[in-house]
Structure 1
Amino acid sequence: MQVRTLGCSGGIGGELRTTCFQVDDDILIDAGTGLGNLSLEQMKGIRHIFLTHSHLDHLAGIPLMVDSIFGDITEPVVVHAAPATLAALREHIFNWVIWPDFSILPTASRPVIRFEAMQPGEVVELDGRRIEMIEVNHVVPGVAYCIEKGVKTFAFSGDTTTNDTLWPALNRHARLDALVVECAFADEDEALSQKAFHYCPRTLIADLAKLNHRPRIYITHLKPGAEDRIVAQLQARLPDLELRRLSGGQLIRL
């Protein structure tokens, strides 16, 4: 299994792109502006998109992608998400005002995209990969994903703050090789992080103590301009942890 970081920033500007990860060649986890780093041919190979929640920085690429590949695919791209996230997509994006409804284009029987609801705890199996949805704690309904392929296990937290749902779910797996976890704000902005339901270094480190595994840890979703402070605060608190700042284009091989 290979995870390619197409976007991992908490904002845009210059080289920064928002959250999107490509698993092997055919799966996306979230579809923020990082999706635009795929070529047209690579977009045509995407068969499944798993969304963590309904915020724009995690799904902005979907409308433009399906429009770009509209005439070149024979099967719909399946968008997997919690029911509340799919409802938001239908109501606020694919509503004929912001964007055409590609779930019924070119016809209702042969659409470009198909929405498929998942519930926390549910597992989707795709060509030897088991993708589990896990509830997390965000300002809108949010989820994480844990992916197993063979003996390797990868997890992505999505957007979240302090919770007691992600960590027990990950502990139930026999192993965890790599964890991508958000930390959007520096410690001096902890009050804002709490209002936005994001981690800061202090709260993330408190939650990492709930994890029984010792995976490689990649930090994502850092706010532009605060990246170095956030990483320095994390490393100062946990100098012995294998912790890395994620960057655009980075490959996570498992």
Structure 2
Amino acid sequence: MKVRILGCSGGIGGRHLGTTAILVDDDILVDAGTGVTNLPLAELARIDHVFLTHSHLDHTGSLPLLIDSVADLRTEPVIVHAIPETLDIIGRHIFNWEIWPDFSAIPSEERPAMQYSPLTVGESVRLGARKITALPARHTVPAVGYQLDSGAGSLVFTGDTTVNPAFWPLVNQIANLRYLLIETAFPNREQRLAEMSRHLCPRLLAAELQNLSARVEVFVSHLKPSQIELTMAEIESDAGAHKPQMLYNNQVFEF
């Protein structure tokens, strides 16, 4: 399994900053933030499955444009996997004919350009030898993270989340876990805002990582563009025992 980071920022502000989008091999997306725009049309057309962590714009904003751009290049619909609450939100607020056409019904209901596929926390979707499992997350809207399992190894992405006791026992049971991608959106001086918006700051990240029993590489995503250096310095100070590294666009994991 080859995982390429197309976007991992908490905002925009240059070619090196794109919001969350992760390409798995050449046919799966995890989230569809602005990082998707880094792909040329031919690569976009090869995406068969999109797994959404939640409905917020920085994770879904490129999905409508992606579907529209590739609809006439494909013979099968793009399958959008998410928990029912997320599918309901994007159906009511994005693909509603007011913000964007409802591609789950066009060009026809019999042959749509997009198809919804609901999943539940703990459920796995098998695509060939690959297994993608929804993990619990705690955010301001219903949300999940994902385990990407090639059989030989696993990568876990928390999605947007805050302090989450239900997450760690499941992660610690993954025998082949190699990588953990975990969010930290705010520096410590904005801990109250982090808690209100159900994100992490370095102090909260350090406490959360105390629950991690596996020896894995930890990477931090969702940093606010104007506060990257401060937040990473605080992460090194507060959570340095786990040696978290900053996640970068175009970073590749193979396992």
Give the TM interval when normalised to the shorter protein: over 0.9
Which digits, 9 at most, give the CA deviation of each residue in 1:204-247, with x for residues without a partner? 11011111112111110001111111111111123342321011
- Say if 2:94 is the partner of 1:81: no
Deviation of the 1:34 alpha carbon: 0.5
Map of 1:154 onto structure 2? 155
Give the aligned residue type for 2:2. Q
Distance 2:181 2:212 in 1: 13
Distance in 2 separating the partners of 1:205 and 1:129: 31
Q: Does 1:216 align with 2:183?
A: no
Partner of 1:247: 248
Any conservation in 1 of the 2:209–2:242 contact (CA below 8 Å)?
no
1:136 to 2:137 alignment: yes
- 1:19 is matched with 20
The alpha carbon displacement at 1:84 in A equals 0.5
Q: Partners of 2:205 and 2:241 in 1: how far apart?
A: 15
Paired letter, 1:35: V
1:182 aligns with 2:183: yes
TM-score normalised over the length of structure 1: 0.98
Residue 51 (structure 1) aligns with: 52
User: Is the aligned partner of 1:191 residue 2:175?
Assistant: no
Shift of 1:87: 0.2
User: For 1:248 and 1:230, how far apart are their aligned partners in 2?
Assistant: 18
Q: Give me the whole-angstrom Cα distance separating, in 1, the residues matched to 2:241 and 2:218.
A: 12
CA contact (8 A) 1:175 1:213 kept: no
Between Structure 1 and Structure 2, how many residues are aligned?
A: 254
- 1:30-57 superposed Cα distances (whole Å, 9 cap, x missing partner): 0001111111000011010000001000
Q: Which residue of 2 aligns with 1:8?
A: 8
State how far apart, in whole Å, the 2-side matches of 1:202 and 1:86 are. Answer: 33
SS in 2 for 1:78: strand
Query: Could you tell me which residue of structure 1 aligns to residue 121 of structure 2?
Result: 120
Q: Which runs of 4 or more aligned residues in structure 1 lie more than 2 Å from their structure 2 counterparts after TM superposition?
A: 237-242
**Counterparts of 1:208 and 1:249 in 2: how far apart (Å)?**
25
Q: Secondary structure at the match of 1:106?
A: coil
**Equivalent residue number for residue 67 of structure 1:** 68
Greater Cα offset, 227-236 or 155-164: 227-236
Q: Secondary structure at the match of 2:141?
A: coil
Aligned mates of 1:161, 1:240 — CA distance in 2: 20
Please tell me whether the aligned partners of residues 205 and 239 of structure 2 are also in contact (alpha carbons under 8 angstroms): no
Distance 2:169 2:76 in 1: 37
Whichever residue aligns with residue 39 of structure 2, its letter is: L
Which amino acid letter does the alignment assign opposite residue 135 of structure 1?
P
Deviates more, 1:167-176 or 1:16-25: 167-176
8 A Cα contact 2:130 2:150, kept in partner: yes
Gaps of 5+ in 1: none
Q: CA deviation at 1:10?
A: 0.4
Question: Does structure 2 conserve the Cα–Cα contact (< 8 Å) formed by 1:215 and 1:242?
Answer: no
Deviation at 1:174, TM superposition (A): 1.1
Identity of matched residues, %: 44
Counterparts of 2:117 and 2:233 in 1: how far apart (Å)?
40
CA distance in 2, matches of 1:193, 1:29: 23
Matched position secondary structure for 2:71: coil
CA contact (8 A) 1:29 1:50 kept: yes
Letter in 2 for 1:125: R
CA distance in 1 between counterparts of 2:124 and 2:252 reads 24
Moved more, 140-149 or 240-249: 240-249
